[in-house]
A = this chain, B = another copy of it.
Amino acid sequence: MSKLNINKLCIIGVGSMGGSLARALRENNAVESIVGYGRNLQHLTEAKKLGVVDEISTNLGDAISNAEVIVIATPLGAMPALFSEMKNFDTSSSVMTDVGSAKHFVIEAAMKAYGELPSNLVPAHPIAGTEKSGVEAAQADLFQHRRVILTPQDNTDLSALELIRSMWQACGAEVIDMQTEHHDEVLAATSHLPHMLAYSLVDTLARMDDQQEIFDYAAGGFRDFTRIASSDPQMWHDICIANREQLTKILHAFNEDLQRLTKAVEQGDSQFLKDTFTSAKKARDKFCEQDK
Let me know if A221 is at the binding interface, CB within 8 A: yes
Evaluate contact between A270 and B255: CB separation under 8 angstroms: no
Evaluate contact between B129 and A197: CB separation under 8 angstroms: no
Among candidates B189, B206, B290, residue contacting A208 with C-beta atoms closer than 8 Å: B189
> Given A228-B225, A230-B288: A237 and B190 within 8 A (CB)?
no
* Minimum C-beta distance from A278 to chain B (A): 4
Q: How far is the CA of A196 from the CA of B253 in the complex (A)?
A: 15
Q: Is the interface of A mostly helix, strand, loop or mixed?
A: helix
Evaluate contact between A259 and B266: CB separation under 8 angstroms: no
| Residues on B with beta carbons closer than 8 Å to the beta carbon of A198 | 225, 280
Evaluate contact between A233 and B278: CB separation under 8 angstroms: yes
Q: How far is the CA of A229 from the CA of B284 in the complex (A)?
A: 7
Interface residues of A (CB under 8 A from B): 127-131, 146-147, 149, 186-187, 189-191, 193-206, 208, 210-211, 213-234, 236-237, 240-241, 244, 247-248, 250-255, 257-259, 261-262, 264-266, 268, 270, 273-274, 276-281, 283-288, 290-291
| Residues on B with beta carbons closer than 8 Å to the beta carbon of A224 | 224-225, 227-228
Evaluate contact between B248 and A215: CB separation under 8 angstroms: no
Among candidates B194, B219, B268, residue contacting A222 with C-beta atoms closer than 8 Å: B194
| Residues on B with beta carbons closer than 8 Å to the beta carbon of A234 | 274
Q: How far is the CA of A109 from the CA of B261 in the complex (A)?
A: 25
In the complex, residue of chain B having the shortest beta-carbon distance to the beta carbon of A243: B265
Q: How far is the CA of A73 from the CA of B291 in the complex (A)?
A: 32
Q: How far is the CA of A201 from the CA of B195 in the complex (A)?
A: 11
Among candidates B233, B286, B287, residue contacting A277 with C-beta atoms closer than 8 Å: B233
